[in-house]
Amino acid sequence: MKVICERSALLAAVNNVASVVPTRTPSPALSCLKLVATKTAGVSELQLFGTDAETSLSISITQVDVAQPGVAVVSAEKLRQIVQAVESEQTLTIELADDVCHIRGSAARFRIFAYAADQYPQVPDMAQATSNARSVFTHSAAGMLSLINKTVFATARETSRYAINGVLLKREGKKVEMVATDGRRLALCRSTLKAVDAKDGATASCIIPTKGLNLFTKLAGNPEENVRIAITDNRIFFAFEDVIDEDKKKPSGRPPRAVLTSALVEGTFPPYEDVIPKDNDKKGTIDRDALAAGVREAKILTNEESRGVRMNFSAKNKRLKLTSRAPEMGESEVDVDLSSYEGEDVEISFNPDFIADALKTMEESEVIIELKSTTKPGLIKSGSEFVYVVMPVNLAN
């Protein structure tokens, strides 16, 4: 194998693919990247593969000149360090000779030992998965990013309840929704597909680990890009497809520039519909940025023992008063105007981080807060597609 690569394109691909590779593994080959250089009809392409056996990623770059097609399996960390270090180089030549991979620039030369290609674990194939999938559909990168960003932050971090350590994805026809919860809050976001092919399986659900979703957010650079999604019995595939400039709705016909696949979380997701309050009779509308600033200011005087901010909604003044208190430190009081308020006055306390996390993901300038009582969960809405349920906290007087 011999290929001349544009360094900047190679570095971006190596950084992304290497992020999948485990830092510690009993299998030396699993700590490597697999490089496949091809030249078809005069078009050169270099594919980079990385996997930890649960999550896999492949990225294709065309800013290359393949002099000799072939395959190389080399240390992910050493390849990343080399490509990153030679900042003055515009191009790098990667050549495999026997069991040694030579990496050369104009002034620097490196030799790293390579592994046999047949020692590298098999990476799940997107084309094969599509033919056997329970559901296949296409969504815009922007649409998927919105779904992920508005839910993934609410997943559980502990491992005792494994099924809520990921995000539930449900697809029914043109409707797609994602849901995440950690038992103290729940985030739900909905989206609509532009087109649906009935033969691709219109109904499916699965639980996606957060690692795969966090990788998705790094890969989705172009919001107009199409993402082809395939759900099988135990995996999900995301293929990032380029689009034609003059018509953003049509794929370019080229192979996907990146394919991300993840094993699914086993288990049953909680019946989240039962958690969403239906009878809240107090409703306030408030500027998103003003609320975010108020929560941030009130949070200053909280601590681990009193980690909560009181919210006092006043119908008469159309005012929200945020207060906090930390023993032996002091207390705070912040007033925020309400655009509107319906219902009786109510005081309720929330973890300020939980409120701030949700506000960061919202695009709308105003949010709606619906409440029932001091001890009942609150509901925050943004637009028609995002619903956030948060449990109150008990604070000592």
| 320-366 pLDDT tens trace | 999 999 888 899 999 999 999 999 999 999 999 999 999 999 999 99
276-390 is classed in which CATH architecture? Answer: Roll (3.10)
Under a CB-based contact definition with an 8 Å cutoff, are residues 261 and 231 in contact? Answer: no
pLDDT score recorded for residue 250: 52
> What are the structure tokens assigned to 343, written together?
């219902």
Q: How confident is the model at residue 282 (pLDDT cuts 50, 70, 90)?
A: very high
Angle at 338 between CA 334 and CA 390, to 5 degrees: 75
Residues of the chain with CATH 3.10.150.10: 2-119, 126-273, 276-390
Question: Tens of pLDDT along 234-254?
Answer: 999 999 986 655 454 555 557
Name the helix (H) or strand (E) containing 324: strand 319-326
Q: What is the CATH code of the structural domain delimited by 2-119?
A: 3.10.150.10
Q: What is the CATH code of the structural domain delimited by 126-273?
A: 3.10.150.10
Global pTM? 0.91
Cβ neighbors of 267 (< 8 A, separation 6 or more) are 162, 163, 207
Q: What is the rounded distance in angstroms from the CA atom of residue 365 to the CA atom of residue 383?
A: 10
Rounded mean pLDDT of 173-199? Answer: 90
Rounded mean pLDDT of 293-306? Answer: 90
Share of the chain above pLDDT 70, in %: 95
Q: Residue ranges of the alpha helices (H) in 288-388?
A: 288-299, 352-360
Q: Which residue has the tokens 């390579």?
A: 114
Question: Tens of pLDDT along 32-42?
Answer: 999 999 999 99
pLDDT at 397 over 60: no
